[in-house]
Amino acid sequence: MRRNRRIEMRVGIFVVVALLVGGSVSFLIGNQRNVFRRKTSFHASFEDVGGLRAGSPVRVAGVTVGTVGAVDFGEDGRIEVSFEVVNSAAALLRGTPEDCTPVQRAARKTAREAREARRRAAVVAGEALPDEPELPRCSVVTIGSKGMLGDRLIAISVGQGLPTWDAEDELPVEVGGGLEAMLGEATDTMDSVGRVARNLRLATDPFADQAFSRDMSETAHNLAKLTGMLANGDGAVQRLMTDPRMAEDVTATLRSMRTASGELAGAARGIRSITNEIAHGDGSAHAILYGHEGAEAVTHMGDAAGELSTLLHDVREGEGTAHELVYGEAGGEMLGNLNSATADLAAITADVRAGRGTLGGLLTDPSIYEDVKRLVGDLERNDILRALVRYSIRRDRTREQPPEIEEAP
């Protein structure tokens, strides 16, 4: 009897412990899967879910907040996925179908990338960050992978700056994520690494040639010597690099060349305008080059040239005075007389310069100048001589006047 009681007690204890363990496990699993929390149902449609099934987790910003309820085909051939999200996380899903079209999402993404680029540039430059408002973000559904085994899940991004998403509206989706995307990116990365390795091999293969290596070493040595000469020498290039005055001279020269080129361009424009005016204007130059006046002027010039040729022919072969002066003896005699007159004039000029003769003495002897000056002064002060001069002038005027003719009564 006592033995049966012990067995019953053991069985009761085992049942109680089993119930406690089972309840604890159920509570933990239910809490992990949000079984005991209120949820909101959402839906989205995909072209390919990649193995997503009912019961797969739903994550918002990496936190599991619900599970997939059903995965079914829609009437248009797309796959309709319905899932539940706890209410606390459902408030993070924001946006409207009108504000979350693919075009608008792409435009906002481009604007955010440009904003981040400006912020990075400001940080590098040590400037203040630009005060730009945050752009709205739409909540987007993607299919991702859980771990390396490839189990599928739904990942939803957190929205910002927009109203809470209406559960009746279909959430926008994006293709991407998951193990396949990671593998695709890894494949692209490996292809890029392979191309870089091939380029490096092509670039380094010439160094295996000893002659090429020696040439490169000699080139590097010469380059080092050249840079040393530029840094420590006294040549024009070194002065240009280190002497501010020479740099200013070069700058002034370039400025002068720029000014000269501008003046040449202006002169070319002036010449072009002149030629256009001559070609299309109505001035004298246009008339001479393109009108009848030019032809008449050329004709007159030709006639004048003919007359001049005839005159020169008569002078050269005729028998007139001009021919005699140029080619005859009369011309020689005239040149001889001119030479003699020139010689006489030179002799007279020499005598005058030497002070010989009356004119030479007057020009070179100061005493004669003083005597003449004194004589003129004495004449001006002599009243009798002045009165005599006045009397002579009056008599001359009286003689010059014609006699008056008396009129007949």
Verdict on whether the full-model pTM lies above 0.75: no
Flag the least confident range among 46-60, 265-279, 325-339.
Answer: 325-339
Domain ranges of the chain: 1-32, 39-99+136-188, 287-322, 324-395
With 70 as the cut, is the pLDDT of residue 406 above it?
Answer: no
What gap in Å lies between CA 356 and CA 348, rounded to an integer? Answer: 9
Confidence at 42, pLDDT banded by 50, 70, 90: very high
With 60 as the cut, is the pLDDT of residue 132 above it?
Answer: yes
What gap in Å lies between CA 53 and CA 146, rounded to an integer? Answer: 13
Query: Per-residue pLDDT averaged across 5-30, rounded?
Result: 70
What gap in Å lies between CA 290 and CA 272, rounded to an integer? Answer: 18
**What per-residue confidence (pLDDT) applies to 123?**
87
**What per-residue confidence (pLDDT) applies to 409?**
44
Query: Per-residue pLDDT averaged across 176-202, rounded?
Result: 70
**What per-residue confidence (pLDDT) applies to 84?**
92
Q: How far is CA 196 from CA 75, 192, 204, 223, 261, in A?
A: 48, 6, 12, 29, 48
What value does the mean pLDDT of the chain take? 78
Q: How far apart are the first and last CA of the chain?
A: 212
What gap in Å lies between CA 139 and CA 129, rounded to an integer? Answer: 27
Confidence at 180, pLDDT banded by 50, 70, 90: low
What gap in Å lies between CA 258 and CA 302, rounded to an integer? Answer: 47
Joined tokens for residue 151: 């189990």
What gap in Å lies between CA 315 and CA 322, rounded to an integer? Answer: 6
pLDDT in tens, 322-365: 776 667 666 677 777 778 888 888 888 877 777 777 767 766 77
Query: Per-residue pLDDT averaged across 84-112, rounded?
Result: 89
What gap in Å lies between CA 191 and CA 195, rounded to an integer? Answer: 6
With 70 as the cut, is the pLDDT of residue 23 above it?
Answer: no
